[in-house]
Chains A and B, each alone.
Chain A
Amino acid sequence: MSLLAVEQLDARHGQLQAVRDVSFAIEEGEILALIGANGAGKTTLLRAVAGAHRISGGRILFDGRDVSSARANRRVGLGITLVPEGRRLFAGMTVEENLLVGAASERRGRWNVDTVLDAFSMLRPLMKRRAGDLSGGQQQATAIGRSLMSNPRVLLVDELSLGLSPVAVEQVYESLQAVIASGATIVLVEQDLGRALRVATRVACMLEGRIVLEGRATEVTRESVTEAYFGLKRPSRQGGTP
């Protein structure tokens, strides 16, 4: 049984169908990179899985249990946590308070303030600073740390490198390695194809709300991903050769 299974999921933004008939599953310890051009439906899909966007069809199974109608906070309690696009930190609160708020679900596990600071050492001297005063990279590290504080079984990361300087992206990915090394299960939405393919164990490419390519990161070719990304050829679901 998959840890997370999405079955024939539909989600809309008003009249616009942003996600169409999407299905995928992820096993414990896997890192799925969800890639695609702007407007492909990645963020909507991730938010739907996290419970932040109402679905219009299909279902979401977590550990065999249908969580489609559960509210976002309930899903965090079960072990699904989203690092939202744009970080969405509580800007008026300190880094330490942001991390502590992340533990609101009271899920037990390896992540606490100390272990988060071990993984994201750049945050150690910033604990008393207001989150709104941090640089983009520091904010992203705080956002990931805040999500880890809920000890998720699946971490959904939306646009990890968006709006960050190359140096900041490098730092955040370095820190993320510690999270990956801990055996975390991650769904990563990323525009940077090269990084996504290096980090992920599996890749799914979205185009116009559908998954048009899905395969193991070691099996898909850069050409097949590029073709799927830009919609140059019609879809194939397995094996990486569209």
Chain B
Amino acid sequence: MVNELVQGILLGCYYALIACGLSFTFGVLRIINLAHGSIAVLGAFVVWTIAEQWNISPFLALVAVAPFMAAAGWVLQRTVLERSLRSGALTPLLSTFGLAIVIDNLLFSKFGADTRSMAPNIGDLAFASWNLPGGVTIGQLALLTAIVAVALLGGLQLFLARTPLGRAIRATAEDPDTAELVGIDSRKVYAAATAISMVTVAIAGTFLALRATFDPYAGSAQLIFAFEAIVIGGTGSLWGTLIGGIVLGVAQNLGSQISPQGFLIGGHLVFFAVLAARFFIAGRSPGSLVRSLRRTSP
């Protein structure tokens, strides 16, 4: 039982990692980026390609890819998301959904349907573990994932609290019109936030590829897990995202103890329970539900 809890926490940290960018984007831009999972898989493919072609460590490849993902985020914001935001709340959903389809099919046409993994590129780290007393096993890669997730979320939280750009991002997230009135260029701030989000997505995509297999259509499952972690933890709250991911991971692991299908069902049940509770507390209207979700913003 203790081991299942530990595995659930470690798995939850991965979910927090994959949800980090989605949470950040929603907290700042108020956009639910339905292309989030597909972008993570795109990041995984790019890192995998570079690691394979140049025969280098995936971590080194990730360092090389990160600036390009940031630039892609900047361009994505200025060309797609910014225009979508001006056209109402539904348009960003539709445009990011369309973007997800485009990314998935471009990846399929380029790489085919074969599943891949970067586990072979990191040697023993992929499967090495420590056996602790009480039957607890801690995988080295799982622990590394958890450390990266906590460092990333903590680093982002510090960045938002302590740096001028972080404060500008928070101010713009709270009131973009007033942010402009104090001299903040909200368009640049949004673009910077999307760039940061894309880097976190690339990191998450890399860890997806290290710990599991991936294919061009693996994005939608990642999006669902990320979305569930965010709803459980409170949308836009980075520490909430970590807690939400851990709750989801633990629920899945405990569910799998009941039945083989319980892995997914356990997670979904917790997600629906939290959603229903928020819905009930918020006064049963979708508008107030969204406000309650946002109440935990950074």
Contact = CB atoms under 8 A, between A and B. Distances in A.
Contacts of B177: 52, 88
A191 B152 CA distance: 50
Interface stretch (B51-59, B96-104, B166-174): B166-174
A76 B182 contact: yes
B180 A101 contact: no
A50 B181 contact: yes
Given A90-B170, A93-B170, A150 B182 contact: yes
Contacts of B171: 90, 93, 101
Q: Could you say which interface size class chain B belongs to?
A: 10 to 19
Interface stretch (B38-46, B67-75, B82-90, B183-191): B183-191
Nearest to A71: B180
Contacts of A51: 180
Contacts of B178: 84, 88, 90
Given A93-B167, A97-B167, A100-B164, A105 B183 contact: yes
Given A88-B175, A88-B178, A92-B297, A73 B167 contact: no
B180 A52 contact: yes
Contacts of A73: 179-181, 183-186
A72 B180 CA distance: 6
8 contacts: A50-B181, A73-B186, A84-B178, A88-B175, A90-B171, A101-B167, A101-B168, A104-B182
B294 to A, nearest CB: 11
A218 to B, nearest CB: 32
B167 A76 contact: no
Contacts of A104: 164, 168, 182-184
Q: Which of B181, B184, B186 has the most CB atoms of chain A within a 10 A radius of its CB? A: B181
Interface string A74-105: 00110001101000101111000100111111
Contact of B183 (A76, A92, A93): A76
Contacts of B179: 73, 101
A202 interface: no
Q: Which of A71, A72, A93, A102 has the most CB atoms of chain B within a 10 A radius of its CB? A: A72
Nearest to A97: B167
Contacts of A90: 170-171, 174-175, 178
A92 B170 contact: yes
A102 B174 contact: no
Given A90-B170, A90-B174, A92-B174, A102 B180 contact: no
A81 B178 CA distance: 11
Contact of A101 (B182, B185, B186): B182
Given A90-B178, A93-B174, A77 B183 contact: yes
B268 to A, nearest CB: 32
